[in-house]
Amino acid sequence: MSELGAAEEMQLLAAVDRWIERDVRPIVREYDHSDRYPTELVEQMKELGLFGATIGEEYGGLGLPATTYAEIVIRIASVWMSITGIFNSHLMLALAIERFGTPEQKSRWLPKLASGEIRGGIALTEPSGGTDLQAIRTAARREGDDYIIDGSKIWITNAVEGSCFALLVKTDPAAEPRHKGMSLFIAPKKEGMRAGKPLEKLGYKSIDSAELTFTGYRIPADHLIGGVEGQGFYQATGGLELGRINVAARGVGIAEGALRLATQYSQSRRTFGKPICEHQAIQLKLAEMVTRARAARLLTLDAARAFDRGGRCDMEAGMAKYFASEAALENSIEAMRIHGAYGYSKEYDVERLYRDAPLTCIGEGTNEIQRIVISRQWIKRNPP
């Protein structure tokens, strides 16, 4: 990924800020409450280049480093987390192709992904598997020059509105260890692939999380990413590093957004003759909130820098995702408490942050899994 100059980065972030204030903030409450898909914003995100944010410039993308990408996600998520998922899952598909695809796959798919002509996501999790990717049952069998795929995936972002997915399947169900029997395919939506209706969720509204079902789904063998079977587990988990940095950035955005709302409210709300921000109980809450938000931001940017350096960064990404998501959850709860009864009202934005925050503790691997990843990598990096 290329490095932006300071002036270029400032211009890009300023453009994102203007878009947020002009087009996102005015509609977020209406769209969130009605669970309405933001078609207009998707078109605007295409114009901003967000669907090509981390895709190389040689393929028509912006080629942004992960640090700049994380900053964009933070800013958007502080106002509306949901729409960051529309381009994050898409970019994980693109990353799998760009990192592991054949030259022909890169030249064929990446320009259309960068422009947003093709939009998609990554189809990993299954109803019976969840975080345990090696337990997937969706299987592909070779038939001449094609593969035939049967199975189902659940909680797939962009399942309804998207048109192409990185699909993780078993090509050798008998392989031991299990991950050696897994392969990743570029799977465009067509006959044999069916999207269910969007799942109803506590938060993360206005984005189509749904089930994908594959029945006799036939694709050419040249859709196998990298052209070699058995590499899918590593290809998929490599993309999860960027996904976890994205979720961490969402957590930072929510933590900072909740802090901003709580601060503004505490300065305007008066009790006992003075603004509540002058009461010690509120000051203690604000101090904890600002510290959590700051620490989450620093951990996330540290993970993004590690990603930009290349090599494995699962420990850094895991730490950022774990801490920032918990910071989002804690700050959203504290912001609601500072708002009192008004925090429980749909007329205030803090209730949306409260509903959105828990997803960050679950998505891209639960926080329980993150702690195991962090511990194992720490031990591995510090042998006796």
| Catalytic site positions | 364
CB contact at 8 A, 70 and 300? yes
DSSP letter for each residue of 73-107: HHHHHTT-SHHHHHHHHHHHHHHHHHHHS-HHHHH
Strands 164-170, 270-271: pairing kind: unpaired
The dihedral of CA 371, 292, 295, 25: what is its sign?
A: positive
Contacts of 119 (CB under 8 A, 6+ apart): 42, 51, 86, 90, 113, 158, 161, 162, 163, 164
Name the residue with tokens 């990096």. 381
CB distance 166 to 122 below 8 Å: yes
Task: Report CA-CA distances (Å) from 9 to 53, 63, 74, 80, 310.
Answer: 12, 12, 15, 22, 21
